[in-house]
Amino acid sequence: MFSCWLSRLCRGLSTPTGRVTHLIQGSLSRRLMLSSQRRIPELSSFVARTNTCGELRSSHLGQEVTLCGWIQYRRQNIFLVLRDFHGLVQVVIPQDESAASVKKILCEAPMESVVQVSGTVISRPPGQENPKMPTGEIEIKVKSAQLLNTCKKLPFEIKDFVKKTEALRLQYRYLDLRSFQMQYNLRLRSRMVMKMREYLCNLHGFVDIETPTLFKRTPGGAKEFVIPSREPGKFYCLPQSPQQFKQLLMVGGLDRYFQVARCYRDEGSRPDRQPEFTQIDIEMSFVDQIGIRSLIEGLLQYSWPSDKDPVVVPFPSMTFAEALASYGTDKPDTRFGMKIVDISDVFRNTKVGFLQDALSKPQGTVKAICISEGTKYLKRKDIESLRKLAADHFNQSFSLSQEVLPVFPKANRNWNSPVAKSIMEEQRSELIRLMEIQEDGVVLLTAGEHRKACSVLGKLRLECADLLEARGLVLRDPALFSFLWVVDFPLFLPKEENPGELESAHHPFTAPHPSDIHLLHTEPKQVRSQHYDLVLNGNEIGGGSIRIHDAELQRYILATLLKEDVKLLSHLLQALDFGAPPHGGIALGLDRLICLVTGAPSIRDVIAFPKSFRGHDLMSNAPDSLPPEELKPYHIQVSWPADSEAEKSSLNQPYHPES
């Protein structure tokens, strides 16, 4: 049949289309000749699997099945565990001589080789069931097998209990993705995002809109990644978030927008931060803060994994001032106590020098936290470590008015605390009453300006919790998810490098609190914002605000208070002048949220291909250098200082991952 078809093609050479058929014939002839000269893998016998490894149960007994997967484990050349994305199943390797070829394939193939097996689903012998495996009641009696691809020696075993450095995991990320934990994390992430889309689009009328990732430099916020263009001296920037675009969509009358948005910040990585990350980005018109908070509570409740304790709404709220005063941070972990207590009145008439000095200054205060059972679980070296941590928190040694000292109101020990002997009996009694100190309690005391004193004790509070839990005392239930709204943030903060100037506490598009607008012209540092953060177990997982929709107010804040170049935002200011509706929104950090839900130690464990701690891709060695001829169209020339020749030459050497 093929030869007849080919001869008809040859006869077609005499027709007007003969040149086309001649090309086809030549191509076919060359392919036939090449196939006869080299060995092409035989895939014609490949049959698609009938089932996945994780779906077979007792209800499938007696069925003939074909499975494909990786060899995870082999025991005594009798049993083999086959794995795919859906689960594990045990395979019985045939031992009779008639199936010698099948046994050879399954017994000689290295671990993690890809195989196809066909056989019958049978029950495991009585007493050999594995209740820990969903497929633990059955096994596959193999009749035929095919080696689809062999595996070379691995850099590490594909087992969750085998410890691997993060650098090695990132260098061979495609292997790390085979682990159960990584696949569980990514599957859960996918399910939650799907449910969020369903909730927003199908139940609340949101529109999923993509926004550009090539934008321009904008004032305020984090550093942006710069992208060269072919126009001399002009650059794009990758957006830190779709903030301006989603506000422009509200001006455009879209009313309810959301996006699973990629965002970029040219900052150092941390366990909970990446140069590129993902947000669930939301904006709404004609809405107030309560409406947005209610929407997000419903969104999380609807998308929450079924294998976790259900989300209880509404979430409690706390002002920024309350959070700082009680927990020393704007993202408090409310799963345990150990709150900060103001004990200034206890020591108002103290003779202790540094306490007197602190209380004599404006905003001077004395603060303390009580570590329950501290004398039982903490040692002298722990207390000294906490004091050193407090000093390092401000990157300098404390002055006397910023010292952190241990006090043991009920215990018969001082640990050389210089303040203990100077505390009068009535002060000690009042301290015990005010802080509800039990027999083994230890008080960490500091004095100084309110915000600094609270901040350092907030840091020590978390460190104490880590120390106590390391010694066996459970303070934070890992199965508990404690949500909290933090509201009434300051609109502005003094710049660190120049305290006389202001910067936005969050971003310059946040609207001031209605009752504080009159203070913009007189006391801008006292103005509260309509910003709100969502906190989960001491981690910020979302932040948003009601936006400024009045162009004149936006110009005043940018130009007069923040001293920014308004020309950079002329497009937004012009849009606000064209009938912008009142609007507001929020962005949830998807990576951080999934990290907390799964209990992963880092957001890199819930991202398929993350960057390293230093922002590198250890798998592909990005970022990488480019030759001068490829940079020329972008009008960029890389210059190296005279003492950087070694570094320059190292770019052409093999890359060594971070340890």
What is the average pLDDT across 181-195? Answer: 97
Q: Give the pLDDT score at 8.
A: 44
| Rounded-to-integer distance, Cα 622 and Cα 638, Å | 17
pLDDT band at 395 (very low <50, low <70, confident <90, very high): low
Q: How many residues does the chain have?
A: 659
The answer to whether domain 58-149 has CATH 1.10.8.50 is no
Q: Of the ranges 108-112, 149-153, 382-386, 486-490, which one carries the lowest mean pLDDT score? A: 382-386
pLDDT band at 18 (very low <50, low <70, confident <90, very high): very low
With 80 as the cut, is the pLDDT of residue 385 above it?
yes
Class of 336-470 in CATH: alpha beta
Cα 452 to the chain's mean position, in Å? Answer: 28
Q: Give the pLDDT score at 394.
A: 59
Of 22 and 430, more confident: 430
pLDDT band at 417 (very low <50, low <70, confident <90, very high): low
**Tokens read off for 60:** 């499938």
- Looking at the chain, the whole-number percentage of residues with pLDDT higher than 70 is 86
> Where do the structural domains in the chain lie, given as residue ranges?
9-37, 58-149, 185-318+483-606, 336-470
- Say which amino acid occupies 48: A
Q: What is the pLDDT of residues 241-276, one digit of tens each?
A: 999 999 999 999 999 999 999 999 997 666 678 899
- Looking at the chain, the whole-number percentage of residues with pLDDT higher than 90 is 72
- Say which amino acid occupies 280: I
With 50 as the cut, is the pLDDT of residue 1 above it?
no
Nearest partner of 621 among 167, 306, 134, judged by Cα: 167
Nearest partner of 315 among 300, 329, 303, 302, judged by Cα: 300
Mean pLDDT across the chain: 88
pLDDT band at 407 (very low <50, low <70, confident <90, very high): confident
Of 497 and 533, more confident: 533
The answer to whether domain 185-318+483-606 has CATH 3.30.930.10 is yes
Beta bridge partners of 79: 75, 92
What is the average pLDDT across 426-455? Answer: 90
What is the average pLDDT across 578-600? Answer: 97
Q: Are 327 and 333 in contact (CB under 8 A)?
A: yes
With 60 as the cut, is the pLDDT of residue 31 above it?
no
Nearest partner of 22 among 33, 9, 32, 5, judged by Cα: 9
What is the average pLDDT across 357-377? Answer: 90
The dihedrals phi and psi of 565, each to the nearest 5 degrees, come to -80, 105
Give, in order, the Cα–Cα distances in Å from 163 to each of 110, 173, 658.
Answer: 21, 15, 17
With 80 as the cut, is the pLDDT of residue 28 above it?
no
What is the average pLDDT across 523-547? Answer: 97
Q: With the C-alpha atoms ordered 63, 66, 68, 70, is the resulting torsion angle positive or negative?
A: positive
Other beta carbons less than 10 A from residue 126's beta carbon = 6
What is the average pLDDT across 573-583? Answer: 97
Nearest partner of 280 among 492, 534, 634, 7, judged by Cα: 534
| Rounded-to-integer distance, Cα 643 and Cα 178, Å | 44
Q: Give the pLDDT score at 46.
A: 52
Q: Are 530 and 512 in contact (CB under 8 A)?
A: yes
With 60 as the cut, is the pLDDT of residue 129 above it?
yes
Of 420 and 529, more confident: 529
Q: Give the pLDDT score at 652.
A: 45
Q: Give the pLDDT score at 642.
A: 60
| Rounded-to-integer distance, Cα 424 and Cα 445, Å | 16
**Tokens read off for 651:** 């770019």
| Rounded-to-integer distance, Cα 404 and Cα 412, Å | 20
Q: Of the ranges 430-444, 505-519, 579-593, which one carries the lowest mean pLDDT score? A: 430-444
Q: Give the pLDDT score at 411.
A: 66
Of 218 and 557, more confident: 557
Where does residue 354 rank: exposed (0-12), middle (13-18), buried (19+ CB within 10 A)? buried
